């Protein structure tokens, strides 16, 4: 018997969620509030430029005021911190982010710490992270939140599920673990020093992979009928965009899978704009 795998199509989910978000923005505008999102981009990283352009497009499509602050790669840390201070105090900006990575001469931690946690729509400040882990998030990191929004859309219940996350980054691995723990999943975080990785991943009901290694996860890492979430954004041997999971190899073993592109990526932007609208709703309700 051939059981077909269900594709978790983030791109389609994002488009579906746009409808309700557009309505929420329209309601806010009736109350005289326009949600505001600012993005600070430093330098000329071409991938970052694409992501920021996509954020701008989505925000503006929904009626959010979008402001791009683009600095040369030589900008001083002091200048960047001063702009962050300005945005912290700008009433029209509900939330803002500093697109990562920043150039080496800038201390990323210092920059993140300067962001007001109440406007930190990336959920990266230490206060935001602390609140996330105690289960009272002010804001949620966009990729992790986007994954949860997508699983909710497909009615995937995480309660009691064995979740294994491959990758322990602050942007994806750790916040995804926190959010899934909050949904009563049993969560294991694995990383480059984990022994017997295959043994662990092949017991996962839900496998989340964010390690930045093209097609690393093959079917021998995957439990039969697992849900596989691929956060990777890599290039294969032909320079084609691919994920950390070998899609062709795994697709007949998994019950559900995200494609790359069109899976987690678009949900990251959805979660970001959702967060901005939520903060604006808070502003409108005083």
Ligand X SMILES: Nc1nc2c(c(=O)[nH]1)N[C@@H](CN(C=O)c1ccc(C(=O)N[C@@H](CCC(=O)O)C(=O)O)cc1)CN2
Tell me whether residue 207 is exposed, middle or buried, using C-beta atoms within 10 angstroms of its C-beta: 0 to 12, 13 to 18, 19 or more. Answer: buried
On whether 82 is known to bind a ligand per the annotation, the reply is no
Catalytic residue, from 55, 119, 140, 253: name it: 55
Q: Which of 122, 205, 230, 244 is catalytic?
A: 122
User: What is the rounded CA–CA span in Å between residue 173 and residue 179?
Assistant: 10
Query: Smallest gap, in angstroms, from Cβ of residue 53 to ligand X?
Result: 10
Name the token pair of 23.
């309505």
Q: 266: which residues sit within 8 A by CB, 6+ positions away?
A: 10, 11, 13, 14, 146
Q: Could you tell me the smallest distance in angstroms from the CB atom of residue 205 to ligand X? A: 23
Indicate the residue among 205 and 230 with the shorter CB distance to ligand X.
230
Toward ligand X, which CB reaches closer, 10 or 35? 10
Q: What are the Cα distances from residue 15, in Å, to 136, 263, 270?
A: 28, 12, 9
What is the smallest separation between the CB atom of 285 and ligand X, expressed in angstroms?
Answer: 27
Which residues sit at the interface with ligand X, rule CB under 6 A?
Answer: 50-51, 54, 97-100, 122, 142-143, 171, 233, 241, 260-263, 265-266, 268-269
| 234 noted as active-site residue | no
Q: Is 276 helix (H, G, I), strand (E, B) or coil?
A: helix
Q: Is 53 annotated as a binding residue?
A: no
Is 262 labeled as ligand-binding?
no
Catalytic residue among 83, 99, 119, 161: 99
Identify which of residues 28 and 233 has a Cβ nearer to ligand X in the complex.
233
Q: Based on the residue annotation, tell me whether 23 is a catalytic residue of this protein.
A: no
Measured distance CA(131)–CA(267) in Å, rounded: 22
Residue 248's alpha-carbon distances to 8, 166, 252, in angstroms, are 15, 19, 8
Question: Of 231 and 254, which CB lies nearer to ligand X in the complex structure?
Answer: 231
CA distances to 68, 101, 124, 278 from 60, rounded to whole Å, are: 12, 24, 24, 16
Residue with tokens 């790669």: 73
CB of 267 to ligand X, least distance (A): 8
Binding residues for NADP(+): 167-169
Residues with catalytic roles: 55, 99, 122
Binding residues: 167-169
């Amino acid at each position: 018997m051939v059981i077909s795998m269900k594709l978790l199509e983030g791109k389609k989910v994002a488009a579906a969620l746009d409808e309700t978000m557009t309505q929420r923005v329209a309601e806010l505008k009736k109350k005289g509030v326009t949600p505001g999102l600012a993005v600070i981009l430093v330098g000329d990283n071409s991938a970052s430029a694409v992501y920021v352009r996509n954020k701008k497009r989505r925000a503006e499509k929904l009626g959010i005021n979008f402001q791009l602050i683009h600095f040369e790669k030589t900008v001083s840390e002091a200048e960047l911190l001063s702009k962050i201070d300005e945005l912290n105090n700008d009433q029209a900006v509900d939330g803002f982010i500093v697109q990562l990575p920043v150039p080496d001469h800038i201390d990323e931690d210092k920059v993140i710490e300067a962001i007001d946690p109440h406007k930190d729509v990336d959920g990266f400040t230490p206060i935001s992270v602390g609140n996330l882990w105690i289960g009272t998030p002010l804001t949620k990191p966009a990729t992790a939140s986007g994954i949860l929004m997508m699983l909710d859309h497909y009615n995937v219940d995480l309660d009691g599920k064995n979740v294994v996350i491959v990758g322990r980054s602050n942007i994806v691995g750790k916040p995804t673990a926190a959010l899934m723990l909050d949904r009563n999943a049993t969560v294991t975080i694995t990383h480059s020093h984990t022994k017997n990785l295959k043994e662990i991943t092949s017991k996962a009901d839900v496998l989340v992979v964010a390690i930045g290694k093209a097609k690393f996860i093959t079917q021998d890492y995957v439990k039969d009928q697992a849900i596989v979430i691929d956060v990777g954004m890599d290039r294969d041997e032909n320079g084609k965009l691919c994920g950390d999971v070998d899609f062709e190899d795994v697709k007949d073993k998994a019950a559900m899978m995200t494609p790359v592109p069109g899976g987690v990526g678009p949900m990251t932007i959805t979660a970001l704009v959702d967060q901005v609208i939520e903060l604006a709703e808070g502003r409108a309700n005083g």
